[in-house]
Structure 1
């Protein structure tokens, strides 16, 4: 009896620890769009250019009063793949319609021009008010897998919504199995031209480095970019499946005294975390040299069932946030502390609201934004569209880490 009483107290304490860290800001049974008018929406449905059940939000980013959401073209019927919510107009709306960015015309696949957007997964707004969009170039991923073009970067001026540059990743930096999905941007506001993008090729097991100033890229290979065969088994939302996804999560530390950052990275099908200095990645000669192997370091292991899609560092607190897809949760680690089990905190977990946290970002006000989308159920089973399937959650970093080992 005494042991049962103690167990009950511990379970209650765990529930309390998870409560109130993240609040639900938006939620959808199905996502919808801000069409020009009712007739345009009806025509899109009739022509099957809009199939509501095929639209699922994946990537998130916050810039000023815009909350960006990517809706990759997993299947046909996605009318707009890069969108935003106007936070000034959606405060009282639980399920706002998505607004195509920068306009509807950019999402028309029949327009074969440089401004066309096909299917991005991850995006990043930098300190110089630019939006970096990593486009996979693939339509109907789960169906015909229509490769419309090679993957490329689109870079927008967020103040004018104008396309600044389009850079198609050259075939020399890709493999026959390449699929790019995540991008982080290394930049300081004092020098907007000296920017680098680091791109994860999760199925080709490589990092592609892009220099904005030189307008060129190079491919970096390493054993640490591959998946762990013992960590490829998942059970999410009662759906069991196996993935072989390699390097996916990329996060950058604040700038060190030497002028470089530490990149924290991990394959998705792995429980290990690794590091490398951006001094290595930025130096093309050194980065592609096989002798740079030992510049990449094993940081440690997060533990059983801790596979993660993505991670991000809040610079003021030096806290790294990362998803926990096999545990329906979000965790944190203070990068100033040892990478040990005691310092890795699962601060929020819920088998309803946090089923497959796909992406997260910390905005300039140190608020954490998370998008959850039940992706494995969408891919391998059937979503219940009478239920809430997609959510955006938010929490202030200072409140999240308060009274935890992340503080």
Structure 2
């Protein structure tokens, strides 16, 4: 007779497989293609090495109306364009990526003198409720090769209604450390108060958080022990590859506005299975945020369990549920913060040992659609991808469908 524990485990696995079956695979590529101005431009880029198809890996996403933004970091030489979008309708599962806001803004000149609205290399972007696209530009090209620091790390903000640059804010020297690396950004804005927005940018390489105030047009760096990786949780097995990472604070998710007018920011290092939180009341006050005595204002939410390492996370304000990737499990999980976090309150909402290898990013849009991007990145970094098979996928599922029947509901 099956034990109760085994029955629950089997039921959980069946639920995960069922949810994976509901995923709508809206885009898939063997290799990325771009919407070149003409065939001659493409052939010239191929000939010069400005475009090496195998070196273009999609990593981050965000949705605004009919645009689904897709980032392509300049891990290697030959990335055609780092900031792009595809149109959701009319549907084309292998759509070519369209550079945003233009081709020119995504091309690195030979003298490295970029325009103010240019994007050198971005990992993740976010869309706020004020119709703005926030881009964290690392400014670093050919990361795994020569490492060309074309520009300073900067937040680049666009007006999505006009496709025009609003602001480029370069990080201050005090924001940066020797090993700083910025691969994410979330934006905190209250309805009708667009000019008072805050951006939170995790530094996964030097274990900190940069806070940017739109109103004051300045930034400050926050330090905390919870931003560091867990040395016991840096071992990964993904897509048949074993590797070790030391990435610190990475995934950020903001709650709805609380009674005190602030949000809760849930966060975790990538090489960790724990989840933490802090009120944005702490982060938005430079004096408090940078005061060592604020240590105890940060809280531990709980433990995700073995193999629970996550990259990206996002929170659905309607249900209050947090979604997070599960890199070692080829999956996506959910957690309802109304319940203490533990392996029993973390549920897999989708798992697929083929289609969800390395769930790199996820985002929830204003219509409660959950978008998931998987890209086999470890194979891209450490071996090579087979151009004859599907390597990159983007899925969509309604939040309500994803959590139905789970402990998150």
Same fold (TM over 0.5): yes
- Is 2:250 the counterpart of 1:248? yes
1:31-58 residue CA offsets vs partner (Å, 9 max, x unmatched) = 0000011111111111110100000000
Q: Which moved more, 1:8-17 or 1:317-326?
A: 8-17
Matches within 5 A, 1:114-133: 114-133=116-135
SS at match of 1:364: coil
Q: Does 1:152 align with 2:151?
A: no
Corresponding residue for residue 60 of structure 1: 61
Change (3 A) 1:298 1:95: same
Q: Distance in 2 between matches of 1:354 and 1:304?
A: 19
- 2:301–2:340 contact (8 Å) kept in structure 1: no
**Structure 1 counterpart of 2:43:** 42
What residue number does 2:324 align with? 322
Q: Quote the offset at 1:337 in angstroms.
A: 2.2
- The secondary structure found in structure 1 opposite 2:196 is strand
Q: CA deviation at 1:341?
A: 2.5
CA contact (8 A) 2:16 2:351 kept: no
Distance 1:120 1:103 in 2: 15
**Alpha-carbon distance change, 57 to 113 in structure 1, aligned in 2, over 3 angstroms:** same
TM-score (norm 1): 0.96
CA contact (8 A) 1:71 1:119 kept: yes
Residues 194, 143 of structure 1: alpha-carbon distance in 2 compared, 3 angstrom cutoff: same
Alignment of 1:141-220 (within 5 A): 141-220=143-222
Distance 1:163 1:266 in 2: 31
- Count of residue pairs the alignment pairs up: 403
Map 1:324-363 to 2 at 5 A: 324-363=326-365
Structure 1 contact 239–381 (Cα < 8 Å) conserved: no
Gaps of at least 5 residues in structure 1 are none
Aligned-pair CA distance for 1:150: 1.6
The structural deviation recorded for 1:342 is: 2.2
For 2:83, the equivalent position in structure 1 comes to 82
Answering whether residue 18 of structure 2 is matched by residue 30 of structure 1, we say no
Question: In the aligned structure 2, how far is the partner of 1:113 from the partner of 1:99?
Answer: 19
> What TM-score does the superposition give when structure 2 sets the normalisation length?
0.96
- Distance in 2, matches of 1:31 and 1:325, equals 22
User: Which residue does 1:372 correspond to in 2?
Assistant: 374
Deviation at 1:9, TM superposition (A): 11
Moved more, 11-20 or 307-316: 11-20
Contact 1:25/1:394 (8 A) holds in 2: yes
Provide closer, same or farther for how the CA distance between residues 349 and 54 of structure 1 changes in structure 2, counting only shifts above 3 A.
Answer: same
1:79-123 deviation per Cα after TM superposition (whole angstroms, max 9, x unaligned): 11000001123x1x2211000000000011005221221001010
Q: CA deviation at 1:13?
A: 7.0
The answer on 1:279 being equivalent to 2:281 is yes
- Corresponding position of 2:104: 105
CA pair 16-342 structure 1, distance change in 2 beyond 3 A:
closer
Pairwise CA distance, 1:189: 2.3
**Take 1:23 and 1:56, find their aligned partners in 2: how far apart are those partners?**
21
